[in-house]
Amino acid sequence: MNRTPLVAALLLCGAGVAAVDLDALLAMLRSPSAAQRREAAQQLGESGDPRAIDALLEGVRDGDPELRRQTAMALGNFREPRVAAALASILADPDSRVQWAAVEALERIGEPARAAVLAAAAAPDATARRGAAQALGRMGQRSALAPLLQRLGDTDPEVRRAAAEALGAFPEPAATDGLALALADSDPAVRGQSAQTLARLHDSRAIEPLATALRDSEPGLREVVSQALLSFGAGAIPALLRALQDDDAGLRSAAADILAQLGRPALDALLGALAGSAPEQRGNLIDALGAMGNQAQPILLETLASPNAAQRAAAAQASGRLKIEGTLDRLIGATIDDDPGVRAAAVTALGELGDRRAVVGLVARLADPEPAVRTAAGKALLGFDADALPALLDALHNTDWRLRLAAATLLRQSGDDRAAQALAAKRRDLATLVNGYRPLLNRAGTDDSRLIDVLAVAGTRAMAAEFIQSRREPLVQAANLWLDDHKPAVTTGN
C-alpha cells in the first residue's frame, strides 16, 4: 500500500506498527484529508493498542463511507463489548460496504460481540436485522440458531433471505426443519436461498420437501431446487420417483430431468419401479426414461434379457414407447417369451416401433394362446397398413386355424381392396360349405378346420352361436375367438 509522507515518517525502518507514534496517528484521524484519515484508521487497527478505540469509535460516524468501512475493519481487532455495540450499530449503515465490514469485524470479535449482535437481530431497522443475521451466521455460535430461525419469519424478505443463508452454519435438525418450511416463502429469493442452504447442510430429511418444491412456478427457482436435489445424488432418487406420479406436470418434468442427470443409479431405479407397477401406471416412469436420451438404450437392451419377467416386460414397453433404436431384434425375440406379459409388451412395442421387419413375427402372435397377446398383435398389425398385407394374406392359408381366423378378421378390418378380394375368393372356394354348414356341425368325421374357415370368411353371430351349441371343442374355441374379435360397438344415448 502507498503510504502518505507523514505515515512513512512515523514508521521506523523494519520496526512495523509497534514503532508508530500513536499520538500522531490519532491526530491524523482528525485530518481534513480523507485519505489520511483512512490510513490512520488502518494503522490504528493494526496497532492493537486499546488507546485507539475511542478515536476509532468516532470514525464510524464519519461522513466518508470509505473511512467508516476502514474504521469498522480496524475495530474488529479489539474484542470488547463496547466495540461490538458500535459495530452492531453500523449494521444499518446506508453503504453496503460498511455493513459488510461490520459483519466481518463482529465475526473476528466472536463471543464478546454476541449480545450486541443478538440485540441487533431484533432491531427496528430491517437493514440492521439483516446484517445481524449475516454476522450470526459467520460467528457460528450455537446460541444464534434460535434467533436466526425467528428471522425466517421476519417481515422483511431481505432479512429472511439473510437468515436462510446464515443457517448454513448450523448442521442441526432444527435448521433443516426451518429451511424446509421456508421453501414455501412468499419471496422467490428466500425460497431459492433456503434450497441452496439445505443442499449445503446435506440433511437427507430435506430431500422430500425439496422434491415438493420442484412444483414452484418460478422456472429459475426450479433450477436452484434441482441443483440442490442433485447434491444428494442417489439419495434423492426415491423422492423423485414419487414425484413422477404427481398430478403436476411441471413437477414430473423437473423430477425426470434430475433423474436423467443422476445417470445409471436412476436408470436402475426407474426400471425397478417400472417392473413393480402395472402396465397402465408406467407412463410417467417411461417419460422419465425418455428424458435420459441415449443413456437408456444400453440398459434397456440389457434388461430385455433379464431373468425377471416383470423387468423384461417393463423394458419392452419402454423400448416401444420411446422408440429406442437397436431394440428391434430383442423385441422380436421377446414375442416368443415364456411369459405372456412379456410377449404382450413386446408385441405392442413392435407396433410402436413401426419397423416392417416385425410383421411376420407379429402375424405369428395372432395364434398366441394368450388373448392379450393376440389382441395386441392385431392392433399392432393394423398400424402397419399395407406393409402387413402380404403376411396376412399368407396367413389365410396357414395350417393353424387360429392364425387363419385372426388373419381374416384383420384383413376385413383393414379396408384394403386386395384384402377384400382375397376374402371374397376364399368365400367362393367355400361356397358349398357356407350354404350348407349346419348339417355338418353334428356329423362325425367332418373337417372342423374347413368349418372354421367358413366362420372366418362368412361368419355371423348366429353362426358362432351354432358352433358353440355343437359342443365340438375346436368349433367352440373358434366361435369364442370370433366373438371376441367381433364385439358390437358400444354406443351412448343422450
129 half-sphere exposure, CB direction, 13 A CA radius: 22
pLDDT at 272: 86
Please tell me the predicted confidence (pLDDT) of residue 40. Answer: 83
Q: Note the Cα 252 to chain centre separation in Å.
A: 6
pTM equals 0.65
| Cα four-point dihedral sign 333, 338, 340, 342 | negative
What is residue 11's predicted lDDT score, i.e. its pLDDT?
44
For residue 118, the model assigns a pLDDT of: 87
User: What's the DSSP call for residue 213?
Assistant: G
Q: How far out from the chain centre does Cα 408 lie? A: 47
Half-sphere exposure of 438 (CA within 13 A, CB side): 5
Q: Which of 190, 207, 189 is CA-nearest to residue 198?
A: 207
Q: Cell match 452492531: residue? A: 88
pLDDT, residue 184, reads 95
Averages of pLDDT over runs of 10 residues in the chain (494 residues) are 46 43 81 83 83 84 86 88 88 88 88 88 90 90 92 96 96 96 96 97 96 89 94 94 88 89 89 83 84 84 90 90 90 96 95 93 92 92 90 91 91 90 92 89 81 92 92 91 78 47
Q: Is there a contact between 285 and 259 (Cβ–Cβ < 8 Å)?
A: no
Smallest CA-to-CA distance from 88 within 50, 123, 49 is with: 123
Distance CA 69, CA 63 (A): 11
Q: How far is CA 164 from the centre of its chain?
A: 24
**Ordered structural domains, the chain, with CATH:** 171-262 (1.25.10.10), 430-494 (no CATH)
Q: Rounded distance, CA 486 to CA 410, Å? A: 11
Give the Å distances, CA to CA, from 118 to 61, 88, 437: 22, 9, 100
Eight-class DSSP state of 295:
G
